[in-house]
Amino acid sequence: MKSKQSFSLVVEGANGSCAVGERRGNQNRVEGKIPVISCEGACVRGEIARLAANLVAKEPPYRRSCHGEMFTVPASAIAEWMREAQKVVVIDGCFLHCHGRILKNLIAEEKIAEFDALAVYQKYTDLFDIDEVPEAERKLAAREVADSVLAAMECGQPAGTTKAAACCAGCAE
């Protein structure tokens, strides 16, 4: 049985807000866009998750959100948009689900569609440095993750780490 150790983190409040984030958060909230955040870790797995999130966010009705504002500026328009959204897509880089675990303390868990990028492409488990994987290969892996996330969301697949291919094979029948 795995031990779950909870802990608290104190974050110093911010003075002011990001003007661009305020405009974007308010616009996306009014338009009913679905926020997308991702792992932004220093390793290749975090980089692939980040690239995949950028690809997902280019498709309607998704838009990229800022996890920094969500986690540290709770009164911001970005945070309000994410709390009010019907769904929030979280693409984590690996099995640790760092962003997903944090987000579950900030918004209703049933609103979170959480995906593990590594479960999709299943490579690079022993690598850390981003440059250990050629850029073209990183982009291909990110595209595979993004396509999997988009397919799962289209099918209404429950959040989790299951590949979308199995779900969407059932949707096509």
CATH of the domain at 76: 3.40.50
Q: Which amino acid would we find at residue 27? A: Q
Residue 10 resides in a domain: no
CA–CA gap between residue 74 and residue 83 (Å, rounded) = 10
Give pLDDT tens digits for 3-17: 678 888 888 888 888
Residue 48 resides in a domain: yes
| Residue 9, both tokens | 């983190």
Residue 14 resides in a domain: no
Residue 7 resides in a domain: no
CA–CA gap between residue 154 and residue 81 (Å, rounded) = 21
Give which of 57, 35, 75 is closest to 142, Cα–Cα. Answer: 57
Q: How many domains does the chain have?
A: 1
Give pLDDT tens digits for 15-74: 888 999 999 999 999 999 999 999 988 999 999 999 999 999 999 999 999 999 999 999
pTM for the full predicted model: 0.88
Containing domain of residue 155, as a range? 24-172
